[in-house]
Each structure stands twice: as structure tokens, then as C-alpha cells.
Amino acid sequence: MNPETYKEIQSLERMTVGELKEKYLDVFDEETRANNKPFLKKRIAWRIQALAEGDLSERARKRAKELARDADLRMRAPRDPVKPGSAEARARSVKSRLSSAHDPRVPLPGVLLHREYKGRDIVVRVLDEGFEFEDRRYKSLTAIAHEVTGGKWNGFVFFGLNKAATKKNKGRK
């Protein structure tokens, strides 16, 4: 997802239900009767992304319709689903660990970090090695925080990535 689309989707968080209904009218060209804020945000976000990056191809739509017609629809869940802890459930489970070189405070590559600073939306993409901000690569979040603020900031504090670690450590004291 490109940063502009991401920012537009993030702006939905600050909208009221009335504003979301207006935005729905803008992106779908029809009114909605829904007043459920989370539902409206999800639908509008989907539509914004579909308009920006393209929707399903006609071939994919036809195939989806074919599959839907041929599918055996189940009206109820199976009587005896797989029990947790059973051999079958354990066989489906995958256990792995990230390499110890990965800093647990840094999200996985591909994640977009968002921070609003003095009315400016700061969007940073996590890369395999480093970070990308405004089409430039940086080695650390601290360098980006310094670029944005002009002052000395810890990058993890600036982007709120130390909150989970702080909560864990408070429970240990």
C-alpha cells in the first residue's frame, strides 16, 4: 500500500459517523443506512484501497462466482471439530522462532509505522535492514525522529514502540 493511501485510510479514525457517511457517499456514489462506525471504516478503507490499487480482475470475479455456485454450503459447524491439543491439531501447528538478531521492539519488514507530529503525518515503512521515510532509507528510527523534529529523540519512544516493553517490565518490578 502506498503511503498516500495509508494516510487517507488512517484519517478515517478521526472521523465521526456523519463524516464517515459523507465519505461513503464520495467513494461508493450511494448513501448508506449504516450507523456502525467500525463497519463504515472497514468498507470505506476497502474501497479506497481498491480504487487506488485496483480491484479484482473480471476473470477473478467470474471464477469467484463459479466457486460460490459449486460450493457445498454448510449451515452448521461440524459436530465434532478438532479438539485443541489433539494429535491432529498438533500436526497442523507450526513452531518456529525469529532469529535472535531480530530486535523484538522493531515490527516485521513491510509494516507501516504511523505518527502524527505537529499536524504532519509521519509514515515509515520497516524494511529488512533499516527504514524508509519519504523515499529515503534510514538505518534507525532515531535518525528519522531527528529528521522530523530537529531535536534528539529516541526513535522507539517517538513511534511508541517502547510501550509494550515498558508494560512487561512494570509487571516484573
Contacts with 162 (C-beta within 8 Å, 6 or more apart), sequence order: 105, 154, 156
pLDDT for the residue numbered 4? 87
Give the predicted TM-score (pTM) of the model. 0.44
C-alpha cell at 39: 463497519
Digitized pLDDT (tens) for each residue of the chain, 173 residues in all:
788 888 888 999 999 999 999 999 999 889 989 999 999 999 999 899 888 888 778 898 888 888 777 666 666 666 666 666 666 666 666 666 655 566 778 888 888 999 899 988 999 999 988 999 999 999 999 999 999 999 999 999 998 887 654 554 444 43
CA distance 55 to 133: 27
CA distance 42 to 146: 34
Q: Where are the domains of the chain?
A: 3-58, 112-172
